[in-house]
Amino acid sequence: MGNPSGHNTEGSDLRKIQLRMLEMLEFVDHICQKHNISYWLAAGTLLGAVRHGGFIPWDDDLDIEMLKDDYRSLLKVLQVEMSDKYVLQTHQTDRNYIFPIAKLRDKNSYITESKNADKNYKYRGIFIDIFYLDSGNHFLGRVAVNFQKFAYALTLIRNDKFGLLLFLKRVIFRVLNSLVFPSLRFLAYLFNIKTKILPLGTGFTKPIDLGNVFPLRKIIFEGKYFNGPANVDAYLKGMYGNYMKLPDLDNRQAHIVKCEIC
């Protein structure tokens, strides 16, 4: 879906996706401001804001992060104050969705992700990822993702008519989130690990220094102001190193291979 030359020209399918995600971000920003919930632009979205003033030209996703308590608060609020344009995707709202983060999905679009990984999902609209910070370090994060890999592999298989695959996925989800991940968090507590990483099971294991995040400050993204980390440079260097260097064309990968927008 992404343009390998890196040009998201106005009117292109990629640009339409980006503008729909921008609308969704504005909705989340409004809800967070209303309820005093802290969030910040993260990962490639923050990188795009700094390096390009908005979306990375070939990017077709949008990421925000928050503390775990704020994440829980946001999910509760969205259950009550959700726009009729969007829906919250978690394992509780979509039994085939077995990942440890929430997605806000657009109801008026339909996408196909790379490897058709979303083939069994109930909700398949354009989305933004809502991450929270977890307790752990690189080692614990790698242990967690090695468990999660098996669950991910099952999402690439189309559900059988008997519901056996869905049952297996739900069992694995329960084991991971009721036993494995809490045990790893307990180890982090036991060994006094103070670092934060993105949720166990996501595969993102680089530590995030809260001293670089707070106090939040406003940053321009697509001509609008949203929350960003206090020390954007340190945050991005910790994640990407020389973040101002453009990747080779071969490394400019898209998540979405097909999209229909109403």
Looking at the DSSP bridge assignments, the partners of residue 86 are 106
Q: Is the pLDDT of residue 8 over 80?
A: no
Total Cβ atoms within 10 A of residue 5: 11
Res 7 pLDDT > 80: no
Q: Which fold has domain 13-133+208-261?
A: Beta Polymerase; domain 2 (3.30.460)
Mean pLDDT of the 175-195 span: 95
pLDDT tens-digit readout, 135-155: 999 999 999 999 999 888 988
Tens of pLDDT along 195-206? 999 999 998 999
Where does the pLDDT of residue 4 fall: very low under 50, low under 70, confident under 90, or very high at 90 and above?
very low
Q: How far apart are CA 226 and CA 241, in angstroms?
A: 23
What mean pLDDT is reported for the chain? 93
Please tell me the pTM assigned to this model. 0.93
Tell me how crowded residue 173 is: count the other CB atoms within 10 A of its CB.
19
The number of beta carbons lying within 10 Å of the beta carbon of residue 60 is 24
Measured CA to CA, the distance from residue 157 to residue 115 in angstroms comes to 10
Q: Grade residue 228 by pLDDT with cuts at 50, 70 and 90.
A: very high
pLDDT confidence tier of residue 78, bands split at 50, 70 and 90: very high
Backbone angles phi, psi at 197, to 5 degrees: -135, 170
Domain ranges of the chain: 13-133+208-261, 138-190
Give me the mean pLDDT over the 72-94 stretch.
Answer: 96
Report yes or no: 113 and 257 within 8 Å, Cβ to Cβ.
Answer: yes
Alpha-helical runs (H) found in the chain = 13-34, 43-52, 68-81, 138-155, 164-175, 181-190, 210-213, 232-240
Interior/surface letters 118-130, b for 16+ CB within 10 angstroms, e for the rest:
bebbebbbbbbbb
